[in-house]
Structure 1
Amino acid sequence: MSELQVVRGEMQPWTDHTTPRPALAALLTDVVPANRRTLILGPHAPQQIESVLAHSADVTILVRSVADAQQLGEDFGPCLQVIAGALDGLEVEPYDVIIATDGLDRVLGYDSADLSWTERLAALSRLATADAVVVLALENEFSLLNLLDSRPAHERHGDDEWRPLHDDPTRPVSVDQLKAALPWRAEVYADFASRTFIRADVAGSARPGELPTRLAIGALESVDVPLLSPPNEGVDTAARAGLLASVPTGWLAIFGAQPSHDIYTQTAQAVLTADEDLTGWSTTSTIGPATPDSSAPVELPYESLLLFDPSVVPATVPPGVSVETVLFRLAAAEDVPAFRKLAADLGEWVTTSRIIVRWDDIVFDGESFAYGVSPWVAHNEVEKDDLLAAAWVRFHDRLLGQHRRHPWPPWMLGDDLVSAWLGMSGIEPPEQLQATSPDTAPATAQQVARGKELAAALDVVLETRKATIDVRTALAEAEEAKQELFELKGHVYGLERTLGFRNKAMKTRENRIRELRGQLQRLTTAHERIRDSRTYAVSRVIFHAAQVRNPKTVARKVARRIRKR
């Protein structure tokens, strides 16, 4: 354990929360020079510290929490010099490298001076040599997630993120302001949720459906923050306006070193880097900073259906937009013939493979299709029908989940709509089987069952925010529930009115039946009284006598009976 040094501004008891950021660790590996005197400013995850220690011989870290400083000393030992205190209390010789990827918000203590962001930057500049390498992060107050966050401002930071300043007019809120505020000529990267870092000029030229935009959307979709609306629409709109570099969660300014790649993004436990060239994007995947070999697939412990295999990512991804973007546009324009033609072309292009097909990652350049940067595969080869079913199920969820406009009837949802798209792709539905029980599933449900299973597994590994419902979705669902309630009330009123009419009719019938029963009883009583009368008996004798046609024969029979008696 290294000896702990304490300067003015330390905080105790206290701890600052940090999260690992593999993409940032890979970027630091590229920019941190070897064997230079280095200062890590502010709380950093152990993964970032290890990436710096791998290149620098003399590393010092300054954290304001004494508890964090003691823990760092125990974890890294004498190879890391740990100082507990605030930035304004540090008085040392200038450093050759300064790493402040946590920004300048958590570098002051309780008793520190009320320094603005510009004053903190000046204090940091005094700690850097003339030719120093500086990596400085800045949180974007104008970020899309910050604008869409449904929580009040005072509830967005917990006690482990105590920040003395929340409203600072000197803080930059754009790329141009950040470059103008820095005393050095710096390269700026757009930071999307600490999962994807895109060079600012590359992000500024990206358009909806292109690789940088798709990676930015994927990073923001994984953030578990209650939002007013899904981030997809905002990111696409910003990209269409050339403002994608203006709406990330933060920026990363790099001075004195040139990063090797245009894009750094986290995919599960690997880091994908990409560089733009004349043929598209050159990509490379590495599994962790200590494992340069990315050829062997790695099975995730939480998902048995899919494997993470960076070797399936093509070395060159062509330029173009995603198939999902084109399908969304055709559906919004209600161009069903063009949608059907594109679906048919996709059905011809997809073949039996281990690679899970995602329309949001398949690149379309107007004539041909190509795989994107998705590294997810199945254990064994999956039939073409199942791959198409999984792709259309995922497209169905994203189309309806984002409340996008489409030309199909609102009651044509779920398996029916997915089955229709499969038919457009050339996959005929199976023959209907005779039902053996009342709950037998239809053939369409059986057809897309495997696709649903693959799509659900893909959502798990991609950490899609399905459990978090944004306010727009909640309001839309509330409006749908209100409309459904209104319709059900009308239906209930109709049923009540019908039941009222039937009740009246039943009462009328009951009264009529009672009247008929009373009449029947009176007639029965009168009939019995008549049958018991002597007149009725005489009439019966006369009636029977009138039936006699041979009186002599009757007389002989009567005489014979009299003699017997």
Structure 2
Amino acid sequence: MSTVERDRPATAGTVARTPVEMPHWSDLTGPPGPCGGRAAAALLARAVPPQARVLVAGPHDPALVAGLPVPPERITWLLRSRQDAVDAARAVGAEVVCGGPEAVAGRAYDVIVALDGLDRVVSAEGPQPGWVPALDALAALLTPGGLLLLGVANPLGVHELTALTPTPHEAADRHWHAPAAADPERPGSPDRLRAVLARDGLTMRRLWLGYPDPLAPALLLDPEACGPDAPGGMGAAVDLALAGAWAGRDGAAVLSDPHALAADALANGLGPAFAPLWLVAAVRPSTTVPQADASAGPGIPEGALATSGMHPGHGPMPESGERPAARPGAVLPELIHAEPATGPYAVTWTFTGGERAAGTSAAPDGELFGITRDVAAAAGPVPAGPGFERVLRDACRRRDTPRARALLTAYADWLRGHADEQGEVAGAYACAGLDGLALSPGGPAVLDPSWSAGARPFPVVLARTLHRFAERLLISGAVHPWPSTLDAAELTPVLIGAAGDRPDPAAVTAAVEFDADLRAAAAGLDQAGRDRLARRAAAVGTGTAPDVAAYRELLLADRRLRGELAHTRGVAARAEQQRRAAEEAARAARQTVAQLKGSASFRLGRALLAPARWARGAARRLRRR
């Protein structure tokens, strides 16, 4: 394939090459890999109008580009790698331009997608203008009313602060652009990013925080709509989604648990400062906005897309050509959560205006270990209020025993209120743990009612929930007001008693099995995997290693083990001291008896009593005859 001029149009499915292409480099196959994920796909499906002219800038997952709700001939994909460009043209069928932003200069686009950021948009074979000039080059391509979806990795995100080893980006791609700290114009906060966009005539309409990875975020949330002070109170839903964002990533070694740091940052209003990714939707204001097309559906904010009459790379657009329409209203979701695809379900949740919707691409037939899931049952309003477990943990951290007892009693009363006449609990109430409840003004509320189980006795369901809470409490090393030497099996009866119910050892044993069924069904495990979960849950103690291989948490677990060992040694030393004292007392008693036997009074007494003993023995012999 011969090199073409950079302003020469290319047909769909072909590659336009430029002198600044990178011939021996791949962003799609080499580390750290392309940007993608189901959360990003869900956002693009909502934000990109049909028939929009779209520029995809940088390495994105080909499936993400192919899933755009526009025809392939209306997509231009800008890549700096020659091999990536050839492979992308085959996979997507769109126009692929190989080079940097200068390769598409002079064109006009309604939507520009740069979720990967700008670092890998600029080719290493051409000029290295920096982050802000790269943004200027892309912003110049946006039509009035157009939409820019831009991702910016936070160099101080929890993924960087907790990294134990160099990230794949640092290990593989550092030769092709300077680090973030070396570019003083690069925005280091959402406020500075807003200012940089405004300088290019763009207005930031929405900011999402991406977790846990900038390249493949499983959770996108708007901090203004999902923060601790936001109206509507989605704190419980955010806690649950944030925990799910890190699910399945427990094998990576880190300095500290990033989920705990991110949760604390969000709860204290510092989410944007430590989020791994800032993803913005910015628009170029337009004075004329066409009427909304009802067939376009919801997506970008009002006025975020207006036609310019220019077809990218082909001059003026014919008057008879179909033009994209603006999508009415600020209807972009406040929160998008893609559940891990490792389990049997691949559900992507979107939260818009306090309403939850689900899209699933996989679901098992029938039930797993007696557990079923109806994803459609979770659609609708999201319960407001903070997470029940977070409130209870805060009470435990403060050693506020009365508050902890009140919360546990409230949960037990709520659960008892959903038991039938036989004292059994079924459905979503039996499956929801404390981490799956919102503490709404009317009491606890189930966050995810899609899970359902058969009827279980109330003591078993209560013990299952509290045993699972005890496991998380002990594994995380969190402070609580109960004896620190108790393991999960011993702490559970204490929690049940604090909840105002009578502990039943048989119910606790059955609760561990029930919890193993729930967790195995959620993860899609077989019987052997389910049995491993049950054995591990039954053995959780103060020194159990955390799920995440975090150096700080492992040190805390080691400290707890040392404390438990010191306590055990102290008990053994006291027992040994008591044993020795008993032996000394027994030795002294034997010496006293020996001294008494050797005395004259003892011998005289035996001599006086000898005839009586002989007579008594003779009488017994006579009676036997």
Q: Which residue does the alignment assign to 1:197?
A: 220
Matching residue within 377, 389, 409 for 1:344? 409
Q: Residues 15, 387 of structure 1: CA spacing in aligned structure 2 closer, same or farther, 3 A cutoff?
A: farther
2:95 is equivalent to residue 95 of structure 1: no
1:427 and 1:494 map into 2 onto residues whose CA distance is 35
Matching residue within 494, 497, 510 for 1:447? 510
Q: Residues 36, 156 of structure 1: CA spacing in aligned structure 2 closer, same or farther, 3 A cutoff?
A: closer
Q: Which residue does the alignment assign to 2:276?
A: 249
Q: Residues 120, 283 of structure 1: CA spacing in aligned structure 2 closer, same or farther, 3 A cutoff?
A: same
1:473 partner letter: E
SS at structure 2 position matched to 1:347: helix
- Summarize deviations over 1:92-147 as a string: whole Å, max 9, x none: 52222211111112112332222211111112123223332211111111212222
Quick check: 1:321–1:363 contact (8 Å CA) kept in 2? Answer: yes
2:386 and 2:467 map into 1 onto residues whose CA distance is 20
1:345 and 1:402 map into 2 onto residues whose CA distance is 24
Q: Residues 185, 349 of structure 1: CA spacing in aligned structure 2 closer, same or farther, 3 A cutoff?
A: same
Q: Residues 483, 401 of structure 1: CA spacing in aligned structure 2 closer, same or farther, 3 A cutoff?
A: closer
Quick check: 1:274–1:283 contact (8 Å CA) kept in 2? Answer: yes
Quick check: 2:245–2:339 contact (8 Å CA) kept in 1? Answer: no
Aligned positions of 1:2-401 closer than 5 A? 2-16=13-27, 17-18=33-34, 20-54=36-70, 57-77=73-93, 80-152=94-166, 157-159=170-172, 163-166=176-179, 167=181, 168-182=183-197, 183=200, 184-187=202-205, 188-193=207-212, 194-204=217-227, 205-206=229-230, 209-220=235-246, 223=249, 225-256=252-283, 257-258=300-301, 259-268=331-340, 269-276=346-353, 281-288=354-361, 298-299=363-364, 306-313=371-378, 315-350=380-415, 351=418, 352-355=425-428, 356-373=431-448, 375-378=450-453, 380-401=454-475
Quick check: 2:65–2:92 contact (8 Å CA) kept in 1? Answer: no
1:303 and 1:399 map into 2 onto residues whose CA distance is 27
Quick check: 2:56–2:113 contact (8 Å CA) kept in 1? Answer: yes
2:337 and 2:247 map into 1 onto residues whose CA distance is 14
Per the TM alignment, residue 396 of structure 1 is displaced from its structure 2 partner at its CA by 1.6
1:332 and 1:491 map into 2 onto residues whose CA distance is 27
SS at structure 1 position matched to 2:492: helix
Identity of aligned residues (%): 24
Quick check: 1:140–1:249 contact (8 Å CA) kept in 2? Answer: yes
Structure 1 stretch 464-473 or stretch 183-192: which is displaced more? 464-473
- Summarize deviations over 1:318-375 as a string: whole Å, max 9, x none: 3211110121122223333432333233223224223221211211125412111364
* TM-score of the aligned structures, taking structure 2 as reference length: 0.67
SS at structure 2 position matched to 1:407: coil
Per the TM alignment, residue 491 of structure 1 is displaced from its structure 2 partner at its CA by 8.8
Q: Residues 482, 450 of structure 1: CA spacing in aligned structure 2 closer, same or farther, 3 A cutoff?
A: closer
Quick check: 1:40–1:61 contact (8 Å CA) kept in 2? Answer: yes
2:396 and 2:569 map into 1 onto residues whose CA distance is 33
Structure 1 stretch 332-341 or stretch 469-478: which is displaced more? 332-341
Per the TM alignment, residue 217 of structure 1 is displaced from its structure 2 partner at its CA by 4.3
2:110 partner letter: D
Per the TM alignment, residue 449 of structure 1 is displaced from its structure 2 partner at its CA by 2.6
Quick check: 1:317–1:371 contact (8 Å CA) kept in 2? Answer: no
CA RMSD of aligned residues (A): 3.7
* TM-score of the aligned structures, taking structure 1 as reference length: 0.74
1:305 and 1:235 map into 2 onto residues whose CA distance is 34
Quick check: 1:34–1:56 contact (8 Å CA) kept in 2? Answer: no
1:13 and 1:213 map into 2 onto residues whose CA distance is 44
2:356 partner letter: T
1:67 and 1:367 map into 2 onto residues whose CA distance is 59
2:550 partner letter: D
Quick check: 1:263–1:275 contact (8 Å CA) kept in 2? Answer: yes
Per the TM alignment, residue 34 of structure 1 is displaced from its structure 2 partner at its CA by 2.1
SS at structure 2 position matched to 1:321: coil
Q: Residues 329, 232 of structure 1: CA spacing in aligned structure 2 closer, same or farther, 3 A cutoff?
A: same
SS at structure 1 position matched to 2:46: helix
1:343 and 1:242 map into 2 onto residues whose CA distance is 27
Q: Residues 422, 489 of structure 1: CA spacing in aligned structure 2 closer, same or farther, 3 A cutoff?
A: closer
1:377 and 1:200 map into 2 onto residues whose CA distance is 31
SS at structure 2 position matched to 1:102: coil
Q: Residues 374, 121 of structure 1: CA spacing in aligned structure 2 closer, same or farther, 3 A cutoff?
A: farther
2:406 and 2:170 map into 1 onto residues whose CA distance is 49
Q: Residues 496, 365 of structure 1: CA spacing in aligned structure 2 closer, same or farther, 3 A cutoff?
A: closer
Unaligned runs of 5+ in 1: 289-296, 431-441, 502-565
Per the TM alignment, residue 228 of structure 1 is displaced from its structure 2 partner at its CA by 2.4
Per the TM alignment, residue 59 of structure 1 is displaced from its structure 2 partner at its CA by 0.7
2:163 partner letter: D
Q: Which residue does the alignment assign to 1:523?
A: none
1:13 and 1:325 map into 2 onto residues whose CA distance is 50
SS at structure 1 position matched to 2:436: coil
Number of equivalent positions: 476
Quick check: 2:474–2:487 contact (8 Å CA) kept in 1? Answer: no
Structure 1 stretch 490-499 or stretch 319-328: which is displaced more? 490-499
Quick check: 2:459–2:507 contact (8 Å CA) kept in 1? Answer: no
2:420 is equivalent to residue 407 of structure 1: no
1:211 partner letter: A
2:556 is equivalent to residue 476 of structure 1: yes
- Summarize deviations over 1:75-95 as a string: whole Å, max 9, x none: 223xx1122223344445222
Q: Which residue does the alignment assign to 1:530?
A: none
Quick check: 1:344–1:424 contact (8 Å CA) kept in 2? Answer: yes
Quick check: 2:35–2:116 contact (8 Å CA) kept in 1? Answer: no
